[in-house]
A and B are shown apart, each in its own frame.
Chain A
Amino acid sequence: DAGVTQSPTHLIKTRGQQVTLRCSPKSGHDTVSWYQQALGQGPQFIFQYYEEEERQRGNFPDRFSGHQFPNYSSELNVNALLLGDSALYLCASSRDRNYEQYFGPGTRLTVT
Chain B
Amino acid sequence: AQTVTQSQPEMSVQEAETVTLSCTYDTSESNYYLFWYKQPPSRQMILVIRQEAYKQQNATENRFSVNFQKAAKSFSLKISDSQLGDTAMYFCAFMNPLGRLYFGRGTQLTVWP
**Cβ of A42 and Cβ of B43 under 8 Å apart?**
no
**Cβ of B103 and Cβ of A42 under 8 Å apart?**
yes
| Interface membership of A62, Cβ < 8 A | no
Contact of A98 among B35, B46, B97, B103 (CB under 8 A): B97
| Interface membership of A55, Cβ < 8 A | yes
**Cβ of A33 and Cβ of B99 under 8 Å apart?**
yes
Min CB–CB distance A33 → chain B (angstroms) = 7
Chain A residues whose CB sits within 8 angstroms of the CB of B37 once the complex forms:
103
| Interface membership of B45, Cβ < 8 A | yes
**Cβ of B35 and Cβ of A100 under 8 Å apart?**
yes
Contacting residues of chain A (43-64) with chain B, CB-CB under 8 angstroms: 43-45, 48, 55-56, 58
Query: A92–B37 Cα gap in the complex (Å)?
Result: 12
Contacts A42-B106, A98-B33, A100-B35 given: A33-B101 contact, CB under 8 Å? yes
**Cβ of A43 and Cβ of B43 under 8 Å apart?**
no
**Cβ of B91 and Cβ of A48 under 8 Å apart?**
no
Chain A residues whose CB sits within 8 angstroms of the CB of B98 once the complex forms:
48, 55-56, 97
Min CB–CB distance B28 → chain A (angstroms) = 17
Query: A41–B98 Cα gap in the complex (Å)?
Result: 23
Chain B residues whose CB sits within 8 angstroms of the CB of A105 once the complex forms:
42-44
| Interface membership of B55, Cβ < 8 A | no
Closest A residue to B91 by CB, please name it: A42
| Interface membership of A7, Cβ < 8 A | no
Query: What 0/1 readout, one digit per residue, does chain B (47-77) give for beta carbons within 8 Å of chain A?
Result: 1001000000000000000000000000000
The 4 A-B pairs of least Cβ separation, nearest first, read: A97-B99, A42-B103, A103-B45, A43-B103
What would 15 more interface pairs be, CB under 8 Å, given A33-B101, A42-B91, A98-B33? A42-B4, A43-B45, A45-B102, A48-B100, A97-B97, A97-B98, A98-B99, A101-B47, A101-B99, A101-B101, A102-B47, A103-B47, A104-B44, A105-B43, A105-B44
